[in-house]
Structure 1
Amino acid sequence: MSVDVDVTAEHIARQIASTIDPVFAMIDGWRDVLERELAGPYAGALTGEGEPTAEKLDPVVAALASGELEREGSLITGAGFVAAPGFLADAPWHLAWWLSGSNTFGPGSGLRRLTTVDDPDSEQFRDYTTLEWWRVPARTGTRHLTGPYVDYLCTDDYTVTITTPVRVGGDEMVGLVGTDLYVARLEQVLLPVIRESGHPCTLVNASGRIVASTDARRPTGALLRIEGLAEALTPLRDAASVTDAAWLPGGEAVVPCGDTSLALVLEA
């Protein structure tokens, strides 16, 4: 028996989108500020008479991210800017990333800078351009939601990372702005909404990886393996704007959650 996608299911999808959309808008605003500061008549704010430097850029990024990281009830646990290799004259590899007080990763507490290894010759160095949250936006030129995944770089816990390209001089990507969200925090906010469906219901990303589920047998981070699901999610992976529900061979309904690249899977 197939699941009827009624007004309630569509309402839930809209509620999920409305939870994530403010984070998207915030990141887009940060991108716009950095692009203005790095281009045209604004460039002097960061570059002076020379090339862009981490010394000048980092305080701007900190000012953008710190307010939201310190805001009570914020969904985000980390945020900042990641530079394209070689873009900054004084830091060929550079992460300007800050952690909130709710982020328990690494030493210290409260708002603090993430400690990174930026020397490619170090055994602890990690090439961030190989990671999904960099690779996909660099290829598509658009915002990307990565995860859930265990983030051993910034949170050491199940995390969703949202990143979007920063460009100057036309199409040149000079880095990314983005933020981390603990999946456990997202579950607290989204599960009560998802339960309103009245059906077994699972929220997945565009790859079918589970963000939250009303079924305890479907753990966060695992792939939801249902016949036809991968094909139904293809438009989300292609960054297409999808609004209509799809039905799987087993009768399950797949309902897109706005342009978040997330979808609800409702089972009979």
Structure 2
Amino acid sequence: MASVFNGIRHYAIVFGYYAKLAIQRQLEYPLFLVSWLLVIPTQYFAGIWMLRIIVDRFQPLNGWGFEDLAFLYGLGLLSHGLVVVLFIPTWGTEFAVLRGEFDRLLLRPMNVFFQFVTGYFNFIGLVDLIPGTVIFIAAARMVDFDWSFVNLAKLALVVAGGTLIRASLYTIIGAVAFWTKRSRNLINMTVATMERTTMYPLTLYPQAVQAILTFLLPIGFVSFYPAEQFLGKTKSLELPLGLALWTPLVGLIGFAVAYAVFRQGLRKYESAGS
């Protein structure tokens, strides 16, 4: 038990050093931080404005009014913000493979995946959490969200699980580069898919697409299924324990699979120039 505790403590200390160095590097360019503060919130607030226009000019989307859509959108943005902060390196696996960056990671007596993910703590990515938090809190007030201890605990589990689901998908797609040397286009497509499918109710899509986004690519568990439960809507998927509690479970399973795929891909790593 003592060795396990010491191991966790060691990794926590290393993560702290990595994060400190990453923050120092990013703060060397304050104008970039300022531009990020302007661009990112504008992008996401424009998204919520688009939802308002769609509902006002047409009709509620399959029974989801603007308040419901804003809640769904805000809930999805919370896990998006966290994955941008903690797992952004998975978006650039292709470049790490092509540049031979795994060479030095393999030489160190520490888990390679841990080094790869924590090697760049995206401090500036915290900006992505600002619009998500604002939108979610505002939407929660509009739908009279019950801020009880139970719901807060469920919310924390949903956000954590949603973050793991996103990270899992990006890790798996990024790891394709170990075999093909290319994965950036797939990552871009996955990011775009995540943003679109977490913005609208899953029930808008055909049954076949719903099945894919539930069982093959479990994007539905990021925000849609938990939102259905929080909002008290008719459940489109019946599972024991409640849909909100399935999100962290799906996230843990997905992350375990993603880690296994990453390790398998690492065996195919050939270094740069070979």
Normalising by structure 2, report the TM-score.
0.28
User: Greater helix share, 1 or 2?
Assistant: 2
Q: Which has the higher strand share?
A: 1
What is the TM-score of this pair, normalised by structure 1?
A: 0.29
Determine which structure has greater relative contact order: mean sequence separation of CA pairs < 8 Å that are 6+ residues apart, divided by chain length: 2
